[in-house]
């Protein structure tokens, strides 16, 4: 008899310092419920797709995700959680519960949404059902999470280009656990740091390859929990998770070895950032174009508002006249552009609306060059919706404004609106790193800019109150 697997999930990432609450409307952007026209989309998600390929009987629950922001409204989280758990109860009995989660979700009154969900799931299914989840590496890792799950895996890659691969690995391992072939034991090492680890560059590229090679014998899986550095929680930080086949001694030894290697890399595993003044000077001095500037401190997918004006103002004040800037999250500007219509000329106040760290708004005489009411942008995982977007032109400056709060992944957010990126001296994107996958053939050089904003590269500048110290970079030697 084939095993019965239940799939569902609730995903978002919560920045404790973001001014943007996450309500129900944010989850509606990607809300899949079983029992209707969305069933095909549910079946196509990586976890059920792998389960179906293995011949498992798959039952479905709510699967929803929201763009990052601040903490989720308490009633919204509770309503979504209770709906998912009700779906689980309706589909009992099951042999396996496999969730797709983020790991970085906070709600009002809930520091640890994933731990809460997993604990309630365990209470429903009992001790003999296999529970697992795939997580974003920018996750928190709490005792409630690993106490109530048999298997937790993080994506290996950052940028996250291996979601389908790791989801399939989760299902494969859960099937082995449910069949009694292996007895998973989790070993966790706390690296006592909060850092950035980009796996598409050294030293992390080689580290991940070596980590994968160690998954043999009794070692079933290794995950690096990078941690989400803007969650003000006692368990925030980087962890190493090793899952073995009932070999806790090997797991503990390997987790600590890899964890101390990661700690030795601290401060070297992310692309260096550049001060805004220096970045603008480099753009002006560079003999080729376009130069891409990544405004990481205002990355919407890290919980920032996406409407800061510092980089645009600095370029314009420095006399850079050929700029593509976007996508600026400014629903009011989008509304005005739509009401005025394509070809309209008007004076518009752009950006600088969400909070004090958004900077001052910029007043420009613009022409509405294009509008798309069903905009999309390409990502390595396929297109994502961007709501309504508009291209505003002020001389050689093209500003793309949107009413959808997402980071800039692909160049089509510009080119679909007629913006010629090849004609620009500078392209500014609201992103920290994920832009590289789709933009790499366009820019001659990219610079990650450390401008003011909600998501600065130096997290020690943020007003943390609850993190557990000692922790690098707040403390130089936390292992003392």
Structure confidence by residue, pLDDT tens digits, 115-150: 999 999 999 999 999 999 999 999 999 999 999 999
pLDDT band at 1 (very low <50, low <70, confident <90, very high): low
Name which of 25-29, 90-94, 231-235, 279-283 the model is least confident about. 25-29
d(CA 153, CA 406): 25
pTM of the model: 0.88
Tokens for 63, please give them: 């699967």
Predicted local confidence at residue 19, as pLDDT: 87
d(CA 375, CA 169): 33
- How much is the average pLDDT of 398-415? 96
- How much is the average pLDDT of 355-384? 93
- The pLDDT tens digits for 233-256 are 999 999 999 999 999 999 999 999
Q: Is the dihedral of CA 152, 155, 158, 159 positive or negative?
A: negative
Q: Is the dihedral of CA 428, 430, 433, 434 positive or negative?
A: negative
**Contacts with 474 (C-beta within 8 Å, 6 or more apart), sequence order:** 194, 460, 464, 467
Predicted local confidence at residue 98, as pLDDT: 98
Helix 248-264 vs helix 204-213: angle between axes, to the nearest 10 degrees? 170
- The pLDDT tens digits for 274-317 are 999 999 999 999 999 999 999 999 999 999 999 999 999 999 99
pLDDT band at 423 (very low <50, low <70, confident <90, very high): very high
Predicted local confidence at residue 38, as pLDDT: 86
Phi/psi of residue 36, nearest 5 degrees: -160, -155
| The 130-135 sheet, strands edge to edge | 30-32, 57-65, 4-11, 96-100, 130-135, 151-154
Predicted local confidence at residue 294, as pLDDT: 97
In this structure, what is the dihedral angle of CA atoms 140, 146, 151, 155, given to the nearest 10 degrees?
Answer: 10
Predicted local confidence at residue 252, as pLDDT: 98
- How much is the average pLDDT of 312-328? 97
Tokens for 404, please give them: 């959808």
Name which of 215-219, 258-262, 434-438 the model is least confident about. 434-438
d(CA 409, CA 132): 29
- How much is the average pLDDT of 83-110? 98
């Amino acid at each position: 008899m084939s095993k019965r697997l239940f799939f569902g999930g609730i995903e978002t990432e919560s920045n404790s310092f973001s001014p943007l609450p996450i309500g129900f409307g944010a989850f509606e952007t990607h809300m899949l419920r079983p029992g209707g026209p969305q069933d095909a989309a549910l079946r196509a998600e990586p976890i059920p797709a792998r389960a179906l390929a293995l011949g498992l009987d798959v039952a479905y629950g709510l699967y929803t995700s929201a763009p990052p922001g601040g903490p989720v409204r308490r009633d919204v989280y509770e309503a979504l959680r209770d709906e998912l758990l009700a779906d689980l109860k309706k589909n009992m009995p099951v042999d396996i519960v496999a969730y797709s989660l983020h790991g970085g979700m906070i709600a009002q009154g809930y520091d640890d949404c994933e731990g809460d969900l997993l604990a309630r799931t365990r209470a429903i299914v009992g001790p003999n059902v296999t529970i697992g989840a795939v997580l974003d590496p920018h996750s928190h890792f709490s005792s409630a999470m690993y106490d109530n799950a048999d298997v937790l895996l993080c994506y290996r890659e950052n940028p996250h280009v291996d979601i389908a691969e790791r989801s399939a690995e989760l299902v494969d391992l859960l099937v082995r656990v449910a069949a009694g072939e292996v007895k998973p034991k989790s070993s966790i090492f706390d690296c006592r740091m909060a850092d950035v680890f980009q796996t598409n560059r050294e030293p992390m590229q080689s580290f991940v390859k070596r980590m994968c090679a160690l998954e043999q014998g009794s070692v079933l899986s290794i995950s690096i929990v990078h941690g989400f550095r803007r969650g003000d929680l006692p368990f925030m930080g980087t962890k190493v998770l090793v899952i073995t086949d009932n070999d806790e001694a090997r797991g503990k030894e390997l987790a600590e070895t890899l964890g101390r290697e990661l700690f030795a890399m601290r401060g070297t595993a992310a692309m260096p950032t550049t001060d805004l003044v220096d970045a603008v000077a480099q753009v002006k001095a560079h003999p080729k174009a376009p130069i891409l500037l990544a405004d990481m401190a205002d990355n919407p997918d890290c919980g920032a508002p996406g409407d800061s004006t510092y980089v645009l103002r600095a370029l314009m004040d420095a006399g850079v006249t050929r700029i593509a800037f976007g996508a600026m999250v400014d629903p009011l500007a989008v509304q005005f552009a739509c009401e005025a219509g394509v070809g309209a000329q008007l004076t518009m106040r752009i950006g600088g609306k969400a909070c004090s760290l958004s900077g001052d708004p910029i007043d420009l005489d613009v022409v509405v060059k294009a509008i798309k009411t069903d905009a999309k942008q390409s990502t390595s995982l396929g297109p994502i919706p961007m709501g309504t977007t508009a291209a505003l032109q002020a001389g050689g400056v093209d500003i793309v404004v949107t009413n959808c709060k997402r980071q800039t992944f692909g160049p089509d957010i510009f080119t679909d609106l007629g913006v010629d990126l090849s004609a620009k001296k500078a392209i500014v994107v609201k992103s920290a790193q994920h832009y590289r996958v789709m933009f790499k053939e366009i820019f001659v050089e990219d610079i990650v800019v450390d401008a003011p904003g909600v998501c600065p590269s130096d997290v020690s500048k943020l007003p943390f109150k609850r993190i557990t110290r000692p922790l690098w970079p707040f403390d130089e030697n936390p292992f003392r």
